[in-house]
Amino acid sequence: MDMMLPARDGVNLAATLFEPTATPLKRSGGAVLINSGTGIPRQFYAAFAAHLAACGFTVMTYDYRGIGGSDAPRGATMEDWGRIDQASMLDHLARLVPGARLAVVGHSFGGQVLGLADNISSVRAVVLICAQSGHWRHWPLGKQRLRVMVLWWLLIPSLTALIGRFPGSWFGTANLPSDIARTWARWGRCKHYVSDRRGQPLRPHNDDVAMPIRWLSFSDDPIAPFGAVEALRSYYPNAAIERRHHAPADLELEAIGHFGFFRKSMPRRPWDDLAAWLERALTGATVVSLPLYAF
């Protein structure tokens, strides 16, 4: 069900609610919010969301302000995405599914900003997919690091000044409003990544991220390389983190990259595995006892 929901500051955000389709006896009672990657419309996550609904969860996808079907107020920043939009959608999901145990699935950017939401402590379990720090030093030396530096220092500043937006689709990223893109570049140039305008760390509620997290990354992902993913771990010092870094062959695939996990072509076994983990985590039945890395 598609809907427009007001954020706390009145900005209308486009959202889709996926009702659980499992039989009542198999419904989990859990509700999952999917935080999108940078500039990715919510429809990209529809197949994954529908699969979780078939496993018994209520699932909500949404567009950040300035993206997809949501309002695009002037001056919006990426901080607003985490601080206002994410928090507002958690409020709405709790209202729409009273008494539900809440979880978040964060893809890329969607896992970087958990601690910006003042109600993040209401979440009982988190899955992170390819969530990483965007600071350029976390990329391997050579062409990969150079591409990231060019993005932060040259492409975003020059193109937003020239045409008033960032045409990220030209470079394999996302099209973004100018102020959003400038925030992204400012973060990427700062060693603290998620940071305020003075370059200081922005971690208002990160200590409240104290729930179990299953955190996946992939060896063929140039946008979230291993070092960048590992750098984000320090953002959540109180979380019980279960890290898994996979090669595509581990999931019987030739490639996964940064986006493949959510595509319709993804084998359903990994999705089922995450649904089962979420169910255990939300009911308190999961214990993080695996090795730091499972390959």
Asked whether the beta carbons of 258 and 226 are under 8 A apart, the reply is no
Name the pTM for this structure: 0.94
In this predicted structure, the answer to whether residue 286 has a pLDDT above a threshold of 80 is: no
pLDDT score for 22: 65
* Contacts of range 1-10, beta carbons closer than 8 Å, 24 or more positions apart: 4/69, 5/62, 5/88, 5/89, 5/92, 6/88, 7/65, 7/84, 7/85, 7/88, 8/84, 8/87, 8/88, 8/91, 9/84
- In tens, the pLDDT along 82-115 reads 999 999 999 999 999 999 999 999 999 999 999 9
Confirm if 9 and 50 have CB atoms less than 8 A apart: no
Mean pLDDT within 8-29: 84
Alpha carbon of 289 to those of 128, 277, 292, 294: distances in Å?
A: 18, 13, 9, 11
pLDDT digits (tens, 9 = 90+) for 258-269: 999 999 999 999
pLDDT digit string, tens, across residues 34-74: 999 999 999 999 999 999 999 999 999 999 999 999 999 99
What pLDDT band is residue 27 in, cutting at 50, 70 and 90?
Answer: low
Domains of the chain: 2-134+205-294 (3.40.50.1820)
- Give me the pLDDT at residue 289, please: 44
**pLDDT, tens digit, 9 for 90 and up, residues 239-281:** 999 999 999 999 999 999 999 999 999 999 999 999 999 999 9
- The region, left, alpha or beta by phi > 0 then psi within -120 to 50, assigned to residue 39 is left
Tell me what the pLDDT averaged over the chain comes to: 93
